[in-house]
Amino acid sequence: MDPAADGLLHLLKAEPTLLPEAPADHLGAAITHRTQDEIHHCLRCGQDAGIAYIAHTDAGNRWIDLCPQCAYWLRCNATPG
| Residues near Zn ion (CB under 5 A) | 42, 44-45, 47, 67, 70
What is the DSSP pairing of strand 48-49 with strand 51-57?
Answer: unpaired
Shortest gap between Cβ of 45 and Zn ion (angstroms)?
A: 3
- Nearer to Zn ion by Cβ, of 40 and 44: the residue is 44
What's the min distance (Å) between Cβ of 26 and Zn ion?
A: 26
The least distance separating Zn ion from the CB of residue 66, rounded to whole angstroms, comes to 6
Burial of 75 (0-12, 13-18, 19+ CB in 10 A): exposed
User: 60 or 73: whose CB is closer to Zn ion?
Assistant: 73
Cβ nearer to Zn ion, comparing 22 with 71 = 71
Contact between 8 and 74 (Cβ < 8 Å): yes
Q: Tell me which amino acid residue 28 is.
A: G
